[in-house]
Amino acid sequence: MTRWLLICRQPLIHQLEISKMTITKKLKIGIVCYPTVGGSGIVATQLGIALAKLGHKIHFISYQRPFRLPTQSKNIYFHKVPINTYQLFRYPDYTLPLAVTMTDVHTKYKLDIMHVHYAVPHATAALLAKQIITDHQKIKPFKVITTLHGTDITLVGNDQSLKPVICYSIGKSDGITAVSKNLATETKKIFCINNPIEVIYNFYSPKKITKSPQLIRRELGLNKNTFVISHASNLRPVKRIPDLLKIFSQVEKKHDAKLLILSGGDFSPYLPLAKKLKIEKKIILKQNVADVENYLNAADCGLYTSDHESFGMSILETMSYGKPVLATRAGGVPEVITNRLNGLLYQVGDINGFTSGIDELINNKKLWQNISSEGKIKAEHYFSAAKMVKKYLDYYSKILAQN
């Protein structure tokens, strides 16, 4: 085993000890994210929790407590952004109250860094807050670090109307990170960004399994031998849910199979297609489940058909539980999965390719086993919390050292 692998296999706490050496000063960090079910919120929350464990003071700022943030935790504070509903405004605004909350939190706690996840409106609000602090409060402002998660960038690919504000917000940030090389390249291509973009991959710390696969399967009324295909997402159009259903309909014609959808969005627009394909009784829909890990762990593989994915957080989560993932060769996904080594990749829309991939996994236990263990190794060692938290800390020190 290489030395690198040996280091990676140290317990998490020990690895986090290593990053203590990276920054000795305890930092005060604002973390701004979307609090709802979604990869960016999960990553931001995990990062904040890990940094708090290292002794840094973490101030989460959002309109609602991030769903995976424990209610009480040492070094973690939550500041709720009040949303005004004045009659005068036709649409409630979020950017301005967010900027005001950031200003207030900084005035009280003197943050070193405001780490925002998503350029709009979070980086925009942070830059406004920084300007107010500099001009009117006469106190040292924070550095703004913006992490790009993808949707801002892909959104602008289709809708140019927000381009000037996204360009400005990314370009004026003190530091920019992206969750994959693909996203960093796309950002540079679409926007007028000359500043360097640091690639720091997403990471996932597997949760303790609290319900055995047998228990979950019993709860879902599944036979022992039913092949369960999982999919976890917000079901946005980018996820190409019709492809998911078409693939499953071909699979279930040949095999005893079920499609387990862990959804953070509305499935009803897809119901007519599910009925047309006569698979509605074979779909198990679980809405906004808190213990996603128990369900991913009870399934046999994961299926992701997106036409774009900057990273694919659910893919990483599924791999962490040793379940082979079949996904599209889209965006940053090939940086997470190496085809036929630790997962299976197909072109967007390749329904037949995906179907034969699932066939192979069902019929070839050795292939299933190899992909399962290689995927788990990649998730645990390459995308480990220790490694990525250290990268963020190193990046923070670099940005803080700049004038």
Name the site residues for ligand GMT (rule: CB under 6 A).
38-40, 43, 149-151, 154, 179, 202, 234, 236, 238, 308-313
* Min CB(49)–ligand GMT separation in Å: 16
CB of 330 to ligand GMT, least distance (A): 9
C-alpha–C-alpha distance, residues 378 and 386, integer Å = 14
Handedness of CA 38, 43, 44, 46 (dihedral sign): positive
| Count of C-beta atoms within a 10 Å radius of residue 277 | 18
Nearer of residues 60 and 227 to ligand GMT, judged by Cβ: 60
Element housing 115 (H / E): strand 113-117
Distance CA 4, CA 96 (A): 46
Structure tokens that stand for 28 in this block: 């005060």
The smaller minimum CB distance to ligand GMT, of residues 310 and 342, is found at 310
DSSP state of 339: B
Q: Which two tokens stand for residue 154?
A: 């892909």
Nearer to ligand GMT, 227 or 395 (CB): 395
Q: Dihedrals φ, ψ of 115, to 5°?
A: -100, 105
- Give the shortest CB-193-to-ligand GMT separation in angstroms: 18
Quick one: 38 or 357, whose CB is closer to ligand GMT?
38
Q: How far is the CB of 255 from ligand GMT (least distance, A)?
A: 29
Q: From the CB of residue 28, how many other CB atoms can be counted at a distance below 10 Å? A: 19
Q: Could you please report the per-residue DSSP string of 127-180?
A: HHHHHHIIIII-SPPPEEEEEE-SHHHHHHHH-GGGHHHHHHHHHTSSEEEESS
Based on CB atoms, which residue is closest to ligand GMT, 81 or 179? 179
- The strand order across the sheet containing 175-178 reads 76-80, 57-62, 28-32, 113-117, 143-148, 175-178, 198-199
The answer to whether 348 touches 366, Cβ cutoff 8 Å, is no
| CB of 60 vs ligand GMT, minimal distance in Å | 16
Taking the least distance from each CB to ligand GMT, the nearer of 187 and 250 is 187
Most distant CA pair in the chain: distance in Å? 70
What distance in Å separates the CA atoms of residue 288 and residue 352, rounded to the nearest whole number?
30
Nearest distance from C-beta of residue 360 to ligand GMT, angstroms: 25
Q: Which is nearer to ligand GMT, 32 or 216 (CB)?
A: 32
Length of the chain: 403
Residue 332 CB, nearest distance to ligand GMT (Å)? Answer: 7
Residue number, 38 or 66, with CB nearest to ligand GMT: 38
Which of 113, 127, 115, 117 lies closest to 165 in space, CA to CA?
127
Q: Residue for token digits 């034969």?
A: 356
Q: Collapsing DSSP states into helix, strand and coil, what is residue 57?
A: strand
Give whichever of 200 and 259 is closer to ligand GMT, judged by the CB atom.
200
Q: In this complex, which beta carbon is closest to ligand GMT, that of residue 33 or of residue 133? A: 33
Least spacing, CB of residue 180 vs ligand GMT, in Å:
8
Minimum distance from residue 43 beta carbon to ligand GMT (Å):
5
Q: How many CB atoms lie within 10 A of CB 30?
A: 28
Minimum Å distance from CB 264 to ligand GMT? 8
CA–CA distance, 234 with 127 (Å, rounded to integer):
29
In the block, tokens 């779909």 appear at 283
